[in-house]
Structure 1
Amino acid sequence: MILERGSAINTSELRQRLTSLDSQHRARLSADDIVEFVDLMQVYEGAMREISTKLEVLDSEFQVQFSHNPIHHMERRLKSPNSLIGKLERRELPISVASVRDHIFDVAGVRVICNYRDDVYSVSRYLSDQSDIQVLRVKDYIHNPKQNGYRSLHIIYAVPVFLTSGPHYTPVEVQFRTIAMDYWASLEHQLRYKSDLPDARLAEHSQTLLDCARSLQNIEVQMQSIHRDISGSPQEQEGDDERLEHLRSTGRGRHEDEAE
């Protein structure tokens, strides 16, 4: 199941959103810029759908081979014009289509919610091994969680989108995580960005969430152990993140420096 975070691109609506930006931003976007931006976003949407299709095919094959669907559901989204401009401003980059193309690598995003940690690494491994895409960057916050307890596997891929002018390799950020990781991350995001709690209460909840992250990790390990006993699906290979980094460093991830 794929959940859209916002509907698919509507060209006229996107143009309207761009022209309705505040006067400071609008002054930096000419009519030609807006046309180019709309074209660029359509390419990103195509790349996002290419990745989604590949993941759906993998999930179906797992069901045939192992009687197990590793992907619980997927979510996908394109960054809004306001979000892109804000990110460029925070990085002190020019407000232009070229800046988006050259410096923003999470314009298109797919979140893959898996049932078990084994599934996270199996699906990401098979996707990364496909010969027509490139691994640009790997950040494994499952083996190396963030200080606040956040866990997820982030991989930026370059995906060919075939247009009349030929293939355009376009970056898509894919976040792989388990149901428990996603449940935790959603609540932590709400606490951090959508609450107006006093600092003391915020700190208290943050510590509780850190404790919950550790508890969830232990529970996941136990449940995965049971699943391994009753399922013939592939098990996680330790060091998968190192293998992905090797892929990235041997030519298929030649844009790594730009992706930072």
Structure 2
Amino acid sequence: MSDNPIEQVKVIQKELKRFMMKYKFALQEVETKIKILQEEFQMLHDYNPIEHTKSRLKSPESILKKMMRKGGANSLEEIKETIHDIAGIRITCSFISDIYRISEMLQSQNDLKTISIKDYIKNPKPNGYKSLHMIVEVPVFMSDHEESICVEIQIRTIAMDFWASLEHKIFYKYYETVPQRLIDDLKKAADTAYELDTTMEQLHHEMEEIKRANQADSKGDFQFLIDNQQFKIPENLMNIISPKLLK
């Protein structure tokens, strides 16, 4: 490295930019995979388990602060080995079962290596926080080499995301000890959100059973949608109508 301080700063800036670029590319890879799974699931099952996704890259300042809390680092490679959530994506699902379904689909991807899974749904944090966290390694192909980059994937329901978003706003930039009374109330709110999740999923399962029963009763009937309303023509009547439609 040059002895010129300005040149040294330029080299550091370039290395940092390239470092962050790898995480940006890794995040794009995971986003593409999720989009493909989302569209495939919609086509095959006429159902989309993913409500929406949100991705983010930690800023260099945020990375530095986290690294300092962990005792500091001597190189970018040490940062890479220590901090695994520089790139992150949050997947919000409709139901709890969708969380595990999506997790399994991602784990089955040959070019994604699962590093760790933390299930805060089965084992919530003390304040009631629930979510499924995955750390995966993604291969990133640069111009001169291939490198595996970690991406954190958080999967949660709408209700879990609602709770987590408001919890963050309530305690944003508060660095003192939170009174136990507030923590207890926060956990009650999380439990209420979970009860809502389980109730809505039960209703979903019951409705699916009703749909399957109706489909069995009307097997052979012709069904179609007009303005989101389902209409059904019995098979015997369709035999009369079809020749006229084909003329």
The residue aligned with 2:189 is 212
Equivalent pair of 2:128/2:191 in contact (CA under 8 Å): yes
1:196 Cα offset (Å): 8.8
Map of 1:113-124 to 2, 5 A cutoff?
A: 113-124=92-103
Name the structure, 1 or 2, with higher relative contact order (CA <8 Å, separation 6+).
Answer: 1
Structure 2 Cα separation of the partners of residues 196 and 127 of structure 1: 36
1:93 Cα offset (Å): 2.0
Aligned length: 204
Q: Indicate which of 20, 23, 27 corresponds to 1:44.
A: 23
Structure 2 Cα separation of the partners of residues 111 and 59 of structure 1: 14
Amino acid at match of 1:213: A
The residue aligned with 2:131 is 152
Equivalent pair of 2:73/2:79 in contact (CA under 8 Å): no
Amino acid at match of 1:134: K
Structure 1 Cα separation of the partners of residues 177 and 136 of structure 2: 40
1:96 Cα offset (Å): 3.3
Structure 1 Cα separation of the partners of residues 153 and 86 of structure 2: 11
Q: Indicate which of 101, 105, 109 corresponds to 2:80.
A: 101
**Ranges of 4+ aligned residues in structure 1 off by more than 4 Å:** 195-200
Amino acid at match of 1:71: I
1:195 Cα offset (Å): 5.3
Structure 1 Cα separation of the partners of residues 177 and 154 of structure 2: 31
Higher Cα Rg: structure 1 or 2?
A: 2
1:227 Cα offset (Å): 1.2
Q: What is the alpha-carbon root mean square deviation over aligned residues?
A: 2.3
Q: Indicate which of 156, 159, 162 corresponds to 1:177.
A: 156
Amino acid at match of 2:164: A
1:207 Cα offset (Å): 2.2
Identity %: 37
Measured at CA, do residues 184 and 163 of structure 1 come closer, stay the same or move farther in structure 2, by a change above 3 Å?
Answer: same
1:102 Cα offset (Å): 1.9
Structure 1 Cα separation of the partners of residues 78 and 129 of structure 2: 29
Equivalent pair of 1:59/1:69 in contact (CA under 8 Å): yes
Normalised by the length of structure 1, the TM-score is 0.73
Structure 2 Cα separation of the partners of residues 83 and 195 of structure 1: 17
Q: The residue matched to 1:193 in structure 2 has which SS?
A: coil
The residue aligned with 1:79 is 58
Structure 1 Cα separation of the partners of residues 75 and 146 of structure 2: 23
1:187 Cα offset (Å): 1.2
Equivalent pair of 2:131/2:155 in contact (CA under 8 Å): yes
Moved more, 109-118 or 158-167: 158-167
Structure 2 Cα separation of the partners of residues 198 and 107 of structure 1: 27
Structure 2 Cα separation of the partners of residues 196 and 130 of structure 1: 40
The residue aligned with 2:203 is 226
Map of 1:1-260 to 2, 5 A cutoff?
A: 30-94=9-73, 96-194=75-173, 203-231=180-208
Structure 2 Cα separation of the partners of residues 165 and 229 of structure 1: 54
Structure 1 Cα separation of the partners of residues 148 and 137 of structure 2: 5
Q: The residue matched to 2:200 in structure 1 has which SS?
A: helix
Structure 2 gaps, min length 5: 210-247
Structure 2 Cα separation of the partners of residues 106 and 226 of structure 1: 35
Amino acid at match of 2:186: L
1:128 Cα offset (Å): 0.9
